[in-house]
Structure 1
């Protein structure tokens, strides 16, 4: 937050009044600087191109978690993280060496699909999120290397080295997990960005403007109080309306394209069915809030469709 300057143009008194950053404040400040740094952008662009070029087909939506209704990556990471934390506990239990090795191996196997899902999601984020995501992935990669070395050391009889490497891996995956939490909760990566719409739209019908002001076949933005909606007028005279901000990351659907009864988000390519808001293609994992429409004296009126869920 900027501190306002006094008449002399200096700020000594106000700056002295500001408290020093506490431990949590320093952490948030460090991650905030990471969000703003551009040093990683060149690497991010190259990795994003490579990730988007992977021939995954429909598997891409599976990895996004469209079938689940929310990102699948946070679910999949429970296997490696849980296995590695459990192996750390077993390292403190006499006679549990073999079980600890099995858990480390399970974590290494589970890390592969979890990482793939994470990279697929990461490639469709905004720049500040991608920067944090790169460091998150780097920490997890360090963890994988450490646990791979730990397993190799244990299998060759170097138990102490294996435990030290496992401890280093546990530290790395813990830092990576904290950054993943920052991505999910602080930066809202993977969150449904339209969840608030049903709570903000009042009951009943609401006017949004004259019908003759809506072009045929092209998405336009209209306001319902302070809620943006995208409206599409079809050649047969019917009108369809969805919440305008994409559920993926809030992209403006009104600036997208309409094809085959669907609207495509211009930011990351999510496709939503205009009739009911269903997300027919990701990276969006949540459908769009949909509205009923009617024409009254030449005015378009819309009503939030409540209690009805879009279906595939």
Structure 2
């Protein structure tokens, strides 16, 4: 796969392509965006660009042995680290392993690449350990972090990485990508899935393949739309299933913040549900609701306070 094959995000792709062509890749990158927007795919493309052995032309070329190994996940100079599904499941032990590997010479490429996927799940201890490496990085190394939102990283980490934001492509671009990925599928089904998923390729694939009927991001977007248009009753109805699922409510609130932040900066005004100022207000309200949830305030009361304040302030 080449960089030009990446779906949507033309400005980000163009900026990265220029860095690759000029050989001016920074030592640490951060790719932010909601799940399904291609952060992990783009992270691997960055690894491919760093290790591509093509003598000239676009990088990654997608044809050399190094690119093939990166794409298949078998390149010895690419180390992939990730946490679990929990909000603080990326532990310091993984970063200690990274630090040991970072100061060893590359096995066969010109550098070592470390992909830290879902870095927003890193504990504070893990982030502080990572900071010690990226503030004085080893020569011939590249660190690529993927996060839902840059705000989930410590300011000290953010000051030492170059951050690129990803957003879901247009439903039209998403549908075309689905047709490429699933050549046997009906084009009409691809278009319907792309529309339902708001252009999010990862979510559209799940819908197309008969997976989850509604992803966590879709739930958060539905709630965001209801709050933004003042549908307090509809928002309250969405929170009823969480009366006996406090962990699920925490996850929904976390996703709601991320989805609002991404919606606020989307380039297409027609797809912008809230403004940046409204996204900040919603983050404040979600933080307050999560605190109430942790204090075992009854979920119906919590939901009433949250939805009531959101409808008034958004």
TM-score normalised by structure 2 residue count: 0.26
Higher helix share: 2
Give the number of the structure whose alpha-carbon radius of gyration is greater: 1
> Normalising by structure 1, what TM-score?
0.26
Q: Which has the higher contact order (CA 8 A, sep 6+)?
A: 2
